[in-house]
A and B are shown apart, each in its own frame.
Chain A
């Protein structure tokens, strides 16, 4: 027994000794899974990968990943997917003040760290470093633009802070800058780096001179319209320190800067409207899905099937085409948007579904005939009843209208089953719906086409789609130029820009002869639908609270649906087996949109206000 005890003691001692002495080498090993600061900043390739990480974090509210439901914040689409949490998008009483809130100072710090470390780095060639520094500053300017459009003036932090442990943190507190100050910062940064970036379009996904100008065109237009239209409000939205609100006197200056930037892009001839397909509708769809030789795209967030893909198609593909056991029909376009697209002959886009005195329906031989002559961009953006996708016809039919000869009235026959058949052997409810309260079937009678992938396989959740998200494109720049030129009183010039955009959509040359704000705003709405523009446009024009005024009798507070029905009326061969359309409020959409004055600027997070006494709250919060 004694011997056994000794043995244990010896073993323990040896083990301890071995551990103590062996530690040194073990802890001194270079880590194999972490890169150290000095390693990163001495290798241009590694520095670029830091930048890639930052590029990947630039989509807080829109895009094809986390923000892919953003069209359902507007009158352009609603949620027709699962009945879970996302259904709250159809039933919200008002937009919360935290909506579109952004306070990404972790991201800003990472960019500032990148700039500071790169500046100190000696291992890099001077030209490389200059290029990367300018690229970092472009990204920082873009991030500040994302902040200022959500929050108004935010603290301008252009260096990193190190906390040294002292109780005095006053030096770390930065107050909010004025809203104009942030826009001015963006403009001056962009002017400074414009010529340090590549002049030719080598990449559609990284910064170059033209992405800089595109951002400037957009940011200056936002600043200009806030300056002009905020002061025209009944109660202009301002804070005493001008953290929100831009003086009206600065509007012209900003419009001019925006127009100058747009014109530099237009005059460079580096870009052109995508016009490769004589089928104008297909052409407009291809603009978003074809990556090669696409001269319209200025800056995009790219995806690849080698590991970086998105599930936008899984979520929003038509029900009958879905390749996944769940999902589909998530974001479905509204009739409001469909009717915003004009007819190619220039007439108003509302659909002719009733006779002028509203006594009877208008009967169409094929459901697609009701859309004849509409703007081709509508067919390129939206799957309408009877159009085709992935080579398959998409049938959308809510039921059958059976004529009752006794009462001289139609009786609506429906079924809860997709693809059901009526007593006469014809279709009752089509394979793609619509159904009133089912998940993953369109509720509006339309499906999304823009950005939905036509490649088979892209609807599987394990695979997904590699369609890129276009942040800036030439069509948008032409519209920016239109608005700025019109605001500066140069209507003829403005008409030249907007008519190019319309001609590509199939309108005849010089289709517009006069311009008004409403015409320009409608053009923004239809050309840039689902591209995450309209929310911000309504905000900067200061009409969001009038468009979404919470009154369910206003035209665009509720999501309207268009439900096609087949007529069964053998007694009248001119109407039998024809199609009629019923306009109704989408059944799953219950609450009118209400945009309060406090939604023009999202609330500053409470923990930010608690931590920094210099931060002021946004108005109405």
Chain B
């Protein structure tokens, strides 16, 4: 099939970007979307032009590197899959395809379709973990965990940190990402000692990074490649409310003292 692409090109974070038209010719329906871009890039290189920069790595839908807004939808038309899992059989000859990077203030464009998602790492660094020093732990079966909770924790833990939730949200809120981690760890007995600090600190960092807040549009759930439920956002809000009623987080107090 032949397609017409309109691709966002931006040379660097500081210059203005814009759409550039390309033709993708003789694309097999079995090729993946990223392979289609590879083909376009090979042609660009042969013509001596700079290829389109886009992020990708495992190409198996698990590393979370890739992420394109395709015709206005993060990760494109296929439900519950990352961009790399999208194949060209979803398109037909002559289609026009608009390809953009994630758009959010907290995700500055680095080049073309690549954005800086460092803010998500920084949120994790404020509390997205259980402090369990290497070696200082009990036997793995010492604490039985109700299967139902373990399974639910796994549902939340499936997040690949791609940032599509942010790209889809009218407020550019990463609430689904934060909620997934807060819920994963908060559902487990090991996660209880730090539960309160975790939610307060992660949400504080989320605000500090310039992300918006959740106002229940549920666009995030619709585009999440791992189909993570917004029920976890409700869980986060409950934790956040309960933690806000209690005193200031211990770690913040210790840091200030």
Task: State yes or no: do A and B come from one complex.
Answer: no
